Structure 1
Amino acid sequence: MARDLTPLAALGLALSEVLPEGVTFAVEDPSQPEGKDDLFASEAAAMTRAVPVRRAEFAAGRRAAHRAMDDLGVLPAPVPMAADRAPEWPEGLVGSISHCEGAAVAVLGFSGVHAALAVDVEPDLGLPRDLHDLVCTEAERAWLSGLEPGARDRAARKLFSAKECVYKLQFAQGGKLLNFSDVEVVIDVDHGAFEARFLCDAGRYGAQEVVQGRCLAVGGFIICFMSALQDIEIVA
């Protein structure tokens, strides 16, 4: 990877190399001033009482979503916030938005192909040690304990991000509110991937079912991505 890339450009390049065909994305900087045309009226309505930082992150996420629509060949349209705070995608589309300090990311595809997409972006900083017991299962804590002490907190942040991604994937498919202890994750650092095992029934996923995703550390960020294809019946 070129060393002169900005952190957001490096993040975008990494995403471009792992997303499946037919899935578009965009990366935006929440620190950039909001333009007067950044948000549709139905999007802006959700932020009327938001503090400036929250509004900036929301606007950057919607800018990214609009750009991803354009790259998919779709006219940009509003992505309002539902009552459960999830994005309401236009008919025919499925996607996911995530943001943290310094980055906002959106991924998008056609709902006729993908049942759900999920993305989570986090700062590549250590997860506070007092959150390890909340986020990690016993098996995950055992894995962390086998790492070099200086690597454990950052690895725990990857577990956190992967679980956030799993939550979004199942929730978009009729899932439910999950606790961190409802999913167990194994990170494959060498291949930038992870496996997650459901420890309870969650929407279309049964207990003990395993799903896969990507988990990358790049540009000072951790980015996790997952996708689920539609169950398409093939008629001979």
Structure 2
Amino acid sequence: MAGGLTSTGVIERILPPAVTAVESYTDPDGLRLFPEEEALLANSVAKRRREFTTVRDCARRALQQLGLPPTPILPGERGAPGWPAGVVGSMTHCDGYRGAVVARATQVATVGVDAEPHAPLPDGVLDAIALPAERARTATLVAAHPTVCWDRLLFSAKESVYKAWFPLTRRWLDFAEADITVDPAGSFAARLLVPGPVLGGVPVGTFQGRFLVDRGLVLTAIAVAAP
């Protein structure tokens, strides 16, 4: 599609078929916001405006694929996107990438995605976001597979965990409240260290996710099936 927008790309490779994804590697000219969205950008710098606008265009294109009309997507509590009734979704952006994913709530209980540049974390960040066991496992992965920035991948996975967690609980989740184990084959498991959400009468203690390193990006995704 023109301008770098695509409904098929990297993120969908780590999501189930019930989730619709649209992503962009550029910020196309001519994109429009709803007035309610525009009002949120009154004092924003150009970079913030571009990423905010493009990721919402991705989200509206994804919603369109579900048969839904364009609608404002406003940040709500703790900045979580406000999706139409009956829809779950997640948005992410970093340098060179914007992506949005949506699904029917009858099929998917929650979804969380995150994209990061495939580069090492700044000094001190890993110590701030990782449990001792996670740091030890990350060091083992670095020794075995040194071409992957495992510290950045861990950070991204924690972001996806939070994005999947918050819509179900409406509660904050600290970096230290989920213990993530990464399988270098392309998946990860996040064991919740605090009481988790209840779906269909069953407490959720672990989120299962997938990851991908491609096009200079680290991408992580969690999709929890509806009960």
Moved over 6 A (4+): 8-11, 205-208
Measure, in 2, the Cα distance between the counterparts of 1:19 and 1:86: 20
Q: Contact (CA 8 Å) 1:78, 1:90: kept in 2 or not?
A: no
**Among 177, 183, 190, the residue aligned to 1:182:** 177
Q: Determine the structure 1 residue equivalent to 2:39.
A: 45
> Unaligned 5+ residue runs, structure 2?
none
Matches of residues 38-187 of structure 1 in structure 2 within 5 Å? 38-146=32-140, 147-148=142-143, 151=146, 154-187=149-182
The letter of the residue matching 1:122 is E
Measure, in 2, the Cα distance between the counterparts of 1:81 and 1:197: 27
Measure, in 1, the Cα distance between the counterparts of 2:98 and 2:13: 18
The letter of the residue matching 1:178 is L
**Percentage identity across paired residues of the two chains:** 32
Distance 1:18 1:150, change over 3 A: closer
The letter of the residue matching 2:225 is L
- Tell me the TM-score normalised to structure 2 length: 0.87
- Size of the aligned set, in residue pairs, is 221
Aligned CA-pair RMSD: 2.6
Deviations 1:124-145 (A, max 9, x none): 1111231111111111111122
Matched, 1:20 2:7: no
Measure, in 2, the Cα distance between the counterparts of 1:158 and 1:112: 30
Report the more deviating stretch, 196-205 or 52-61. Answer: 196-205
- Tell me the TM-score normalised to structure 1 length: 0.84
Measure, in 2, the Cα distance between the counterparts of 1:161 and 1:87: 18
Matched, 1:219 2:215: yes
